[in-house]
Every structure is written in C-alpha cells, then in structure tokens.
Amino acid sequence: MIMRRRMMLLSLSALVATRARAQSYPTRPVRFLVPFIPGSAPDVIARQIAERLSPALGQPVVVENRPGSGGNIGFTHGARAANDGYTLILGTNSLVINPALYARVEYDPLADFIPVHLPFAMPHLLAVSAEAGPRDLAALVALLKAEPGRHNYASGGNGSGAHLAAELLKSRAGVEAVHVPYRGAPDIINAVLGNQVLFGLPTMSTAMPLVTAGRLRAIAVTSPQRSPALPDVPTLAEHYPGAEVVSWFAVMVPAGTPAPIVARVDAAIRGLFADQAWVARMTADGTIAVNMGHEEFAGYYRGEAAKWAELVRLSGARVE
C-alpha cells in the first residue's frame, strides 16, 4: 500500500511538473527541423512559417536543414529528438511514403510523430509542351490509349509525388506510359520542354512561371478543387474521381510531446492565418492554404499513410 501511494505521488508530481513546463513553454529557442535542402519547396515554406511563428511563441524558431535519403535522415533525427517541444519537424508526404518505398527506414510515421498542424499543400500540374503537346487531358489520354507504352513521362524520382500522381492517372484512365525519373521539378520541366517526354507533373509553384510565359501548357491540376491561379484548368478528379494528389507541408513533433505544448504550437500556427496579406503572398503561386488543426490533421494523416502506401504498391516503386 505504501509503495502504491509513493508511486501515485511520483506520477502526480511528474504530471504537475509537465503541466508547469507546458504552461511556461517556450523559454528558449525552438528548432525547426527540415529534412530537405535549403531552397527546396519544403525549406521555403518552413522558413516562412518560422519567421512568423517566432513572435507568436515569443522565442526564436530556428530552421535546421538535415537533408538526405529522400528526407529519411531528417525524419529519423526528428523521431529521436527530445519530446519537450523544442524540436518541430517539417513533415511532408515523404514521411508516410518512404516506409513503403525504401527497403528500410528507422522511424515509424504513425508511432514516432504527433501531427500538430497542416498549414499548406501544393498541387502538381499535369503539363505538356505548349508547342508540341496535346491540347487537353482528353487528347493526352486518347494518345496514350492509341499508342500504349510508346510515350514517356517525367517525375522527380521513384516514389516522388509526381511519380505517384502519374501512376494514379494511369490506373484511373487505363493507359500506359513509361516512367523516366529525374532529380526534381526543374528537370521535369526541361524534359517536357525539350520533348524528351510527353508530359510531366511538376509542382505548381515551379511550373507557374513557364505556364504564364506560354511555354508549358497546364492540362490538369491534381488538387481536389480547381486552383484560383488557373481557374480554367480542370482537376484530374473532374475526369477521374479520386485522382487527387497534393504535396503537403506540415508541422510535427516527436511522439510523447505533452498535449498542452502541441495545443500551444497548433494555436500559434492557426493564428498566423489571420494575416490575410501573408496568406495571399503564400498562395499566389498556386500553393493551397489548408490551416488544418491538430485534431482534424491527426485523422487526415492516418488516411494519408494508408493512401500513399497503396500508391507506392500500385507504382511498383522501390528504393534499396
């Protein structure tokens, strides 16, 4: 009995101490871990969030890049970080794609992280050469059906969002095309413009300047709804229900981070969206302002893990 009381007192003391730390959080700079290179789309978005999150939390939020292995190095580092709220992790689709894509990863996307907030997402554009490409999605699909396996498409690498979006299109439309992996969105665009491939699916923010310049033709977007930046371009889902793929950029923390700290960060990020001028600047290139809080994001995140694992299986992609 005495031992049980001692254990209860210790547990109560630990709970009180945790709540006290959470109420005073943060008392020192917060690290924002980005598992990708400086200048990449995730890095740019992370820095925009960090810059505004610093005054919201009352402490500096410092971006730290840990790139490599498709994000796995940074994600593994984040999973092993202290769960005290002083390490935030920039999560992307890669966090849930990589366990299905790579032969081995050293983290569990569901067990090792808490999804805090989903601020932004970015669709892909199904793009062709404005000079030589099909006029619209129907013409592209008709060509692929007429000449199965003859035409190529470009992606940013095996298991990338562009690759899996194309595989989803192939599955829904019942067509064949040969996958040619490149290193990223700029290479996808160059391959399309150089007629090395028939089509590609670069991220919208990267492709928009060339669409505006009339060099690329956008024939579909992969977002659930049409983009305000390209209101005349249909979504893939308008033709093939369920063919929706967006690259999302979220804030995560290591598992075990106290709930009051999760709530504090979640609320601080949600508050950033009161600045309508900032939101307008962030979404001018087709980026989607999602502003999805912790509770809703947690359910969405579980669904994304299952969805992307299935897309990887359909694509047959594998990285050893």
pLDDT digits 0-9 by tens, 225-268: 999 999 999 999 999 998 888 999 999 999 999 999 999 999 99
Q: Which residues pair with 64 in a beta bridge?
A: 33
- Show me where the domains of the chain are located: 29-121+248-315, 125-239
Distances in whole angstroms, Cα of residue 78 to Cα of each of 58, 64, 70, 134, 242 = 22, 11, 14, 44, 32
Q: For domain 125-239, give the fold.
A: D-Maltodextrin-Binding Protein; domain 2 (3.40.190)
29-121+248-315 shares its CATH topology with 125-239? yes
Task: Using the Cα atoms of residue 269, residue 270, residue 271 and residue 275 in order, give the sign of their dihedral.
Answer: positive
Average pLDDT over residues 31-45: 91
pLDDT of residue 218: 96
Q: What is the pLDDT of residues 201-225, one digit of tens each?
A: 988 888 999 999 999 999 999 999 9
d(CA 115, CA 317): 26
Largest Cα span, the chain: 83
pLDDT for position 185: 78
Confidence grade of residue 82 (pLDDT, cut at 50, 70, 90): very high
Segment 287-301 mean pLDDT: 97
Q: Which two tokens stand for residue 189?
A: 């665009």
* Superfamily of 29-121+248-315 according to CATH: Bordetella uptake gene, domain 1 (3.40.190.150)
Mean pLDDT, residues 25-34: 98
pTM, to two decimals: 0.83
Residue 14 predicted with pLDDT over 50 = no
Question: Average pLDDT over the chain, rounded to whole?
Answer: 91
Contacts of 115 (CB under 8 A, 6+ apart): 91, 250, 252, 294, 297, 298, 300, 301
Q: How confident is the model at residue 56 (pLDDT cuts 50, 70, 90)?
A: very high
